[in-house]
């Protein structure tokens, strides 16, 4: 078995890939606003009108002219006439003159002539449609003015934004019942290996249940993509080639796990180079786990070859697949991605210079701070380590490890438990 002749740093590999593969952002589609959460906005949103669309009261009380309250206090109440009521949901039909007021609901239209609202608790009815007021107001007090929230013509959301519930709320306030979003990226996923079987198939000694495909399908779904399951291909050139070609025809991107190392049965590089150029662009990354990862393309369609071991496949997905999906979607963010927390290492962990090493850690909240405890088990085939851990710490290529107490950035694999 040969060794990799040359290893490439992750950032350099991605630079070389994007330099040679001109990825066009995928198309858009229009969806109902109520189904748009976690989707990626495909165009800038400009406010069609002011929000609120009229000046309104922020409290229950009396709309009035602020200048009529000058000098009012609990020991020096002033008297105003009450000439009507403005209820929420109805226009204000009365205009105010000097020393006049109207009772007004929270959210109701501010009548013409009024520029402030006094809260009901600072007033008292004294009969004959008159009130006493016990404090002075400034113009604009307790009023939400037209356009205070959003002004017509304002660019309120940018293309590439991953829509959150608050964004949906703003879009609704702006009158949108539908929104244009990026189509879900279609990502075809193939596993290779004579030893692989699907879960539920009859197991025989020597066979291995394929975990990579279910993991990768789930990771694609979590990113908001649409996975296309290509199944398992045996270690046969024609079978692998046929499945990859089919994947290219039905997807935006193809992921293959297994068969990418340098053994006699590792056929993937040969298969990819038999397709449309440029073929394999980078093979072998300065990372641990995940060294056999390869970046390739057929035309401008990305193909990523991932290691056969599940932990290595997951780490490589985070390191190189996500940046390519970001490019496809024309965004710098994706649903459920880039969840990080800062923590202090509980003990020293070594690392070899030249490799970006991803260490599994368990993050806990202790004595007012987050700490990261490295897992003792570190094999790239030990899938259970990814459920015992809740985060990954990347040790840069130029460091020989991390020291106890050193602050690190942890990529979270799952949400942290609530602090107690």
Position 3 pLDDT exceeds 60: no
Share of the chain above pLDDT 70, in %: 97
Task: Tell me if 259 sits within 8 A of 193, measured CB to CB.
Answer: yes
CATH number of 56-144: 2.170.190.11
Region of poorest pLDDT, from 1-10, 109-118, 328-337 = 1-10
- Written as six digits, the tokens of 31 are 């969806």
Other C-beta atoms lying within 10 Å of the C-beta of residue 404: 10
Give residue 183's pLDDT: 97
Selection from 343, 287, 366, 364 nearest residue 320 by Cα? 287
Cα-based distances in Å from 128 to 80, 82, 98, 364: 11, 9, 18, 67
Domain ranges for the chain: 10-27+183-329, 28-51+148-182, 56-144, 340-412
**What mean pLDDT comes out for the span 170-188?**
97
pTM over 0.85: yes
CA–CA gap between residue 121 and residue 188 (Å, rounded): 65
Kindly provide the residue ranges of all beta strands, DSSP E only, lying in 128-271, ordered along the sequence.
Answer: 130-133, 143-144, 155-157, 178-182, 186-192, 196-197, 208-209, 226-233, 253-257
User: What are residue 409's DSSP bridge partners?
Assistant: 342
Neighbouring residues of 136: CB distance < 8 A, sequence distance ≥ 6: 66, 69, 70, 71, 72, 73
CA–CA gap between residue 295 and residue 284 (Å, rounded): 9
Other C-beta atoms lying within 10 Å of the C-beta of residue 215: 19
**What mean pLDDT comes out for the span 121-126?**
96
- Written as six digits, the tokens of 125 are 């009815």
**Residue where the block lists tokens 């037209």:** 146
Based on DSSP, count helices (H) and strands (E) in the chain, helices before strands: 8, 28
Position 397 pLDDT exceeds 90: yes
* Gyration radius of the chain over CA positions: 31
1 — pLDDT class (breaks 50, 70, 90): very low
CATH topology of domain 10-27+183-329: Molybdenum Cofactor Biosythetic Enzyme; Chain A (3.40.980)
Same fold, 10-27+183-329 and 340-412: no
263 — pLDDT class (breaks 50, 70, 90): low
**What mean pLDDT comes out for the span 185-193?**
97
Tell me the average pLDDT of the chain: 93
CATH 3.90.105.10 fits 28-51+148-182, yes or no: yes
**What mean pLDDT comes out for the span 201-225?**
94
Position 2 pLDDT exceeds 50: no
367 — pLDDT class (breaks 50, 70, 90): confident
CA–CA gap between residue 220 and residue 205 (Å, rounded): 31
Give residue 264's pLDDT: 53
CATH topology of domain 340-412: Beta-clip (2.40.340)
């Amino acid at each position: 078995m040969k060794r990799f002749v040359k290893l490439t740093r992750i950032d350099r590999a991605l630079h070389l890939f994007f330099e040679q593969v001109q990825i066009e952002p995928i198309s858009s589609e229009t969806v109902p606003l109520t189904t748009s959460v976690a989707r990626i906005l495909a165009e800038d949103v400009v406010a069609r009108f002011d929000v609120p669309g009229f000046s309104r009261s922020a409290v229950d009380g009396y709309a009035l002219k602020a200048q009529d309250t000058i000098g009012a206090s609990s020991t020096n109440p002033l008297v105003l006439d009450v000439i009507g009521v403005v209820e929420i949901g109805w226009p204000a039909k009365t205009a105010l003159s000097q020393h006049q007021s109207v009772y007004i609901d929270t959210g109701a239209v501010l009548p013409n002539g009024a520029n402030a609202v006094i809260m009901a608790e600072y007033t008292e009815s004294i009969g004959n449609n008159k009130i006493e007021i016990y404090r002075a107001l400034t113009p604009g007090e307790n009023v939400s003015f037209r356009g205070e929230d959003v002004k017509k013509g304002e660019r309120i959301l940018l293309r590439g934004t991953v829509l959150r519930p608050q964004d949906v709320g703003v879009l609704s306030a702006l009158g949108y019942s539908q929104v244009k979003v990026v189509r879900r990226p279609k990502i075809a996923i193939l596993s290779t290996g004579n030893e692989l079987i699907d879960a539920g198939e009859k197991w025989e000694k020597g066979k291995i249940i394929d975990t990579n495909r279910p993991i990768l399908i789930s990771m694609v779904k979590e990113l908001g993509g649409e996975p296309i399951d290509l199944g398992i291909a045996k270690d046969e050139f024609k079978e692998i080639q046929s499945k990859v070609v089919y994947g290219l025809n039905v997807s935006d991107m193809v992921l293959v796990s297994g068969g990418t190392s340098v053994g006699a049965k590792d056929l993937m590089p040969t298969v990819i180079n038999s397709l449309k150029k440029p073929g394999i662009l980078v093979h072998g990354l300065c990372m641990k786990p995940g060294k056999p990862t390869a970046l390739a393309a057929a035309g401008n369609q990305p193909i990523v070859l991932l290691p056969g071991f599940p932990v290595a496949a997951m780490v490589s997905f985070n390191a190189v697949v996500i940046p390519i999906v970001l490019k496809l979607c024309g965004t710098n963010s994706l649903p459920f991605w880039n969840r990080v927390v800062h923590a202090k290492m509980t003990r020293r962990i070594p690392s070899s210079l030249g490799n970006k090493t991803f260490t599994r850690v368990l993050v806990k909240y202790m004595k007012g701070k987050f700490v990261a405890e490295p897992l003792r088990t570190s094999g790239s085939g030990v899938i259970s380590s990814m459920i015992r851990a809740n985060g990954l710490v990347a040790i840069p290529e130029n460091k020989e490890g991390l020291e106890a107490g050193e602050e690190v950035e942890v990529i979270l694999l799952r949400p942290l438990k609530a602090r107690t």
